[in-house]
Amino acid sequence: MLKSYRFKDTKTGDVVQLGKLSYLWACMFGPIYVALKADPGCVARSLVFSLSCAGLFVVLLINLNRVPQTIQAVVLIIGVIALAFVHSLKTISFIVNFYRKQRGRWSVRVD
């Protein structure tokens, strides 16, 4: 499910790799990670998505009192893990889509 990517610049030979650990960095640092790995033009979309994930987290916390107290901790843990997982997948997809749009310059390899 968590694919590794290797992007190679056909002109200069530069290589950019996104491995399993990249998903963790993307989850924690979102737009900053996108700025480091891709074009700064992708940062705005990543920032909007990160803010919406933060908003969903706040909504989860606000509505947690509607869940029975016996399972609140479980719902909170599953909710946070699900949000982090979706955030990291989408952040990596911003980077992958950036390199795929530049097919003439970058070759994309999925490992």
Q: Count CB-CB contacts under 10 A for residue 104.
A: 8
Q: Report the pLDDT averaged over residues 52-71.
A: 95
What's the confidence (pLDDT) of residue 107?
A: 86
Domain map of the chain by residue range?
5-104
Band (111; pLDDT cuts 50, 70, 90): confident
- What the block records as the tokens of 73 is 């901790």
In 10-110, the DSSP E strands lie at 15-18, 106-110
pLDDT at 1 over 80: no
Q: Which residues are bridge partners to 17 per DSSP?
A: 6
State mean pLDDT over 34-62. 93
For residue 66, what pLDDT is reported?
94
Rounded to 10 degrees, what is the CA torsion of 8, 17, 84, 86?
A: 30
